[in-house]
Amino acid sequence: MTATKQKLYNTIKLIPDSVAKELLNYADYLTSKYIEKTMPKELIIKNREDLKQKLGKRIAKIESGKAKMLTIDEAFDEIDSV
């Protein structure tokens, strides 16, 4: 464990549960922001219209034979490999 993580761990042990829940929420927020910066843009869905556009592009590729239809498990495996 790095010194920074050890310091964080020691600090967390002293925090009351009510504050710890807020800290966890903030940690989730920071994690999601980091993931957004490092993930390929085609895997990030910004809003409903963005999702429709990306699904439409995928459907067009499938219909043209440039891509194959994936099962849900295959899709998640492909995402996990990124």
Kindly report, residue by residue over 1-48, the tens digit of the pLDDT.
Answer: 899 999 988 988 899 988 988 999 999 999 888 888 888 888 888 899
Q: What is the pLDDT of residue 41?
A: 83
Handedness of CA 8, 14, 17, 18 (dihedral sign): negative
Residue 69 and residue 52: Cα distance in Å, rounded?
17
Residue 79 and residue 82: Cα distance in Å, rounded?
5
